[in-house]
Structure 1
């Protein structure tokens, strides 16, 4: 048998942990979202002394490193250790796999608001009376018409249901060596159709994979359940 699973499985190791032999050969799909390098370049340099524009950053910093910013207006007294200069956001950091979606969602809202302001307040800086208060139905109309290039170079637009075009990577959980299993990319799907590398899919043989609920019992056996 071969497992076929949705993006809920994707390339998560916690799903296969303890069941690698059973999961080997499984085909899963994951949402297509490339790493956003410039976000890491920006985020990993942030520190309390250089990030004053975000009023919640000191609270986040103390919670993240379990230390207190001595003398800071938001000093958290529940932490005994005083924050030093040695803390770094690089410690145990991995970019969230859906970061690109978050950034594109923010850009979508920004483009929608900008286009709305340009249409309702021509030649005006900021919000005019036509946008005070903002009409949610009108804003939704502008959001639905949004069309721009996303962080990974993909086109961002919405259909009549408000859905963006689906883009997926097809993953294969494969035995790579003795007691070593990993996910490899074997294809992709987007509006252009399906692309898949049959030669990479494991198991790769001329035999047809059986798909049965239960094999017939041999002599002396009994079906259970």
Structure 2
């Protein structure tokens, strides 16, 4: 027989590590929710005075139009805004890393042991790229 313990809300999760793509999934769900919300407001009236039948079918083309007009602050922070261009694509942004020898060994997940206690290898940020920014910065070194 399996015993279950009731949650108190005071539990601590010490070794929680969120998968890296979760924030993008959250943004996608919010984009759909905003689009459906806006579509229903347009259909049923902003103040709810218009007759609205919730069981009416929503055309894919109507939903797509509302998805493409969505714009909101991402929960990822850093001033990121979720929005779509005329083709339905979200603006891309990338952090650019270079695999380098580092003076002091890092204990990050990405570090690789070189056998030398004073040195190691790690991914070092050398720039970023975003298609809605005009500045692209790269700092290249020969530390490899």
Normalising to structure 2: TM-score of the pair? 0.69
Choose the corresponding residue for 2:127, options 178, 187, 191.
187
Aligned to 1:165: 91
Judged with a 3 Å threshold, the aligned counterparts in structure 2 of structure 1 residues 94 and 120 are, in CA distance, closer, same or farther, namely: same
- Which of the two has higher C-alpha Rg? 1
Aligned to 1:138: 62
The structure with the greater share of residues assigned to helix is 1
Q: CA deviation at 1:169?
A: 0.5
User: Following the alignment from structure 1 to structure 2, what is the Cα–Cα distance between the partners of residues 108 and 69?
Assistant: 40
Judged with a 3 Å threshold, the aligned counterparts in structure 2 of structure 1 residues 128 and 192 are, in CA distance, closer, same or farther, namely: same
Deviations 1:168-188 (A, max 9, x none): 101111111472111111111
Normalising to structure 1: TM-score of the pair? 0.46
Larger RCO: 1 or 2 (CA < 8 Å, sep 6+): 1
Judged with a 3 Å threshold, the aligned counterparts in structure 2 of structure 1 residues 69 and 116 are, in CA distance, closer, same or farther, namely: farther
Judged with a 3 Å threshold, the aligned counterparts in structure 2 of structure 1 residues 69 and 142 are, in CA distance, closer, same or farther, namely: farther
Choose the corresponding residue for 2:102, options 170, 176, 182.
176
Q: Which ranges in structure 1 are unaligned for 5 or more consecutive residues? A: 1-67, 71-81, 205-225
The structure with the greater share of residues assigned to strand is 2
Aligned to 1:128: 52
Judged with a 3 Å threshold, the aligned counterparts in structure 2 of structure 1 residues 142 and 84 are, in CA distance, closer, same or farther, namely: closer
Aligned to 2:17: 94
User: Following the alignment from structure 1 to structure 2, what is the Cα–Cα distance between the partners of residues 84 and 110?
Assistant: 32
Judged with a 3 Å threshold, the aligned counterparts in structure 2 of structure 1 residues 141 and 185 are, in CA distance, closer, same or farther, namely: same
Other structure's SS at 1:132 match = coil
Judged with a 3 Å threshold, the aligned counterparts in structure 2 of structure 1 residues 142 and 131 are, in CA distance, closer, same or farther, namely: farther
Contact 1:187–1:194 (8 Å) recurs in 2: no
Q: CA deviation at 1:133?
A: 2.3
CA RMSD in angstroms, aligned pairs only: 2.8
User: Following the alignment from structure 2 to structure 1, what is the Cα–Cα distance between the partners of residues 141 and 55?
Assistant: 57
Q: Which ranges in structure 2 are unaligned for 5 or more consecutive residues? A: 106-113, 115-119
User: Following the alignment from structure 2 to structure 1, what is the Cα–Cα distance between the partners of residues 2 and 85?
Assistant: 48
Contact 1:120–1:130 (8 Å) recurs in 2: no
